[in-house]
Amino acid sequence: MESVAASSRLNKGLRPHYLSLPQGSLCQVTYLWIDGTGEGLRNKTRTLEKEPQTIDDIPEWNFHGPSTYQATGSNSDMYLIPVRMFRDPFMLDPNKLVLCQVFTYDRLPAEFNRRLSCSKVMEQVLEHRLWFGMEQEYTLLGMDRRPYGWPANGFPQPQGPYSCGVGADRAYGRDIVECHYKACLYAGIKIVGTNAEVMPSQWEFQVGTCEGIEMGDHLWVARFILHRVCEDFGVIASMDPKPLQGDWNGAGCHTNVSTKEMREEGGLEHIERAIEKLGRRHTRHIRVYDPRGGEDNKRRLTGFHETASINHFSAGVASREVSIRIPRQVSQDKRGYFEDRRPSANCDPYSVTEAIAYTCLLEAEGEEE
């Protein structure tokens, strides 16, 4: 089977000529949205008469819902409502990428429009200045669905030399990672770092610090950019939480959380109180931390490979084998943030951040599962 997509073999040297052609005052705007799987991203492009200056300058649009698992044939129109705008790193200035919410023909939020409920919760907790940083792990796959760069009829050497590694026998696909990083910076994504992960051909990028609803917006568009860069290279970026069974690490989306109170002197007390609340609602959080209600995370949260067991809530300082990690520096400073290590790589960041905000800041006293 082919390990690289045929489209990646097209002559990419021709593309700069066309990108350099003048387009006058016209602007290409690519609308992005989450499809009916809750994981996939879709996009289509239109021309505007001039470059939009704010999100309010971008009109609503529509699309054929059945083709994206979002409607039936009898009520096929779905509406795209622009919510956040970025520079387009593929078509270049003045062109834009625009993230959209999806609504049905009767103006109700689509099934996987989780941004709407998330934004309502974030409005309720504005005074707490809730900050997030999410660490997106992913695995590069060939078109044959095997990890990119792995031997065709075998396995690479065991885990050990790959995390933050360098060298052709340790880092598989760095070109993709570096192009994605640059593209995110150009777009205006709040990307703050990247590194090779423990399993060969697995990588991570970090987005943050983002406040409230901004976290989900930036991570979804960073994912789109990653898929689009991989398309050029002819490989696949998989968010599967356990892409390969056996003695290999899975892929998560560790979520770092901090409120204004946690960042101030004596903030460790607020961190510990939040962790206590998270422990009382562990089962509920597991249900929303992957798109299949915990079924995906069952393959990953085993208590091995730097994870805690999905069945038990735990917390600790500096440990990566717990549900919630308090970094060593935070323990020493007695203020800062905590890391929720449970969300899967394919989580919906809106669902994750909404659940954390609600549990830590809005949960009624004594409320449990």
Q: Could you read off the pLDDT of 22-43 as tens digits, one per residue?
A: 999 999 999 999 999 999 999 9
Residues 107 and 162 both lie in one domain: no
Residue 343 belongs to some domain of the structure: yes
Tokens of 351: 């669902």
Return the DSSP state at 246.
Answer: S
pLDDT digits (tens, 9 = 90+) for 241-269: 999 998 999 999 999 999 999 999 999 99
At which of 112, 146, 163 does a domain end? 112
How many CB atoms are closer than 10 A to CB 195?
14
Regarding whether 274 and 325 lie in a shared domain, the answer is yes
pLDDT-derived band at 303, boundaries 50, 70, 90 = very high
Q: What is the distance between the alpha carbons of residues 157 and 351, in angstroms, rounded to a whole number?
A: 37
Residues 128 and 76 in one domain: no
- What does pTM read for this prediction? 0.96
Average pLDDT of 12-28? 95
| Mode of pairing for the β-strands spanning 315-317 and 27-34 | unpaired
**Does 69 share its domain with 205?**
no
Q: What is the residue whose two structure tokens read 């500096």?
A: 318
Which of 46-55, 143-152, 169-178, 262-271 has the least mean pLDDT? 143-152
Give percent of the chain with pLDDT exceeding 70.
Answer: 98
Contacts (Cβ under 8 Å, ≥6 apart) of 111: 36, 38, 70
Whether residue 8 is predicted with pLDDT greater than 60 in this model: the reply is yes
In a domain, 369, yes or no: no
| Average pLDDT of span 69-95 | 92
* Residue 127 token pair: 């005074």
Is there a domain that residue 367 lies in? Answer: no
In a domain, 268, yes or no: yes
Shared domain for 73 and 181, answered yes or no, is no
Q: Which pLDDT does position 272 carry in this prediction?
A: 97
Same domain, yes or no: 102 and 169: no
The encoded tokens of residue 311 equal 């069945």
* Share of residues in the chain with pLDDT > 90 (%): 91
| CATH number of the domain that residue 302 is part of | 3.30.590.10
Cβ–Cβ contacts within 10 Å for residue 274, how many?
A: 23
Residue 89's CATH number:
3.10.20.70
Condensed to tens digits (0 to 9), the pLDDT of residues 317-332 reads 999 999 999 999 999 9
pLDDT tens digits, residue range 197-255? 999 999 999 999 999 999 999 999 999 999 999 999 999 999 999 999 989 999 999 99
SS3 211: strand
- 59 CB neighbour count, 10 Å cutoff: 13
Q: Are residues 76 and 168 in the same domain?
A: no
Q: Is residue 154 part of a domain?
A: yes
Same-domain pairing of 181 and 103: no
Report yes or no on 1 lying in a domain: no
Q: In which band, very low, low, confident or very high, does the pLDDT at 369 lie, cut at 50, 70 and 90?
A: low
Give the torsion through C-alpha atoms of 116, 117, 121, 124, to 10 deg. Answer: 60
Q: How far apart are CA 282 and CA 241, in angstroms?
A: 19
DSSP 323: S
Q: What is the mean pLDDT of the chain?
A: 95
Residue with tokens 């730097």: 306
Q: How many independent structural domains does the chain possess?
A: 2
DSSP state of 361: I
Domain boundary (50, 80, 112) is at 112
pLDDT band at 363; cut points 50, 70, 90: confident
Question: For the residues 63-84, what does the mean pLDDT come to?
Answer: 90
Does position 74 have pLDDT exceeding 80, yes or no? no
Are 189 and 137 within one domain? yes
Report, in this order, helix, strand and coil percent for the chain, each rounded to 5. Answer: 30, 25, 45
Out of 112, 141, 160, a domain closes at 112
If asked whether residues 182 and 259 sit together in one domain, one would say yes
Is residue 364's pLDDT more than 90?
A: no
Residue 322 lies in a domain: yes
Helix or strand run (H / E) with residue 285: helix 282-288
Sign of CA dihedral 144, 148, 152, 154: negative
- DSSP secondary structure code for residue 237 in this structure: E
Phi/psi of residue 139, nearest 5 degrees: -125, 130
Q: What is the pLDDT of residue 367?
A: 58
Q: Which domain holds residue 341?
A: 121-362
Instruction: Give SS3 for 238.
Output: strand
Retrieve residue 33's tokens: 């949205």
User: Same domain, yes or no, for 220 and 341?
Assistant: yes
- Domain-embedded: residue 187: yes
Asked if 153 and 96 sit in the same domain, the reply is no
pLDDT value for 75: 77
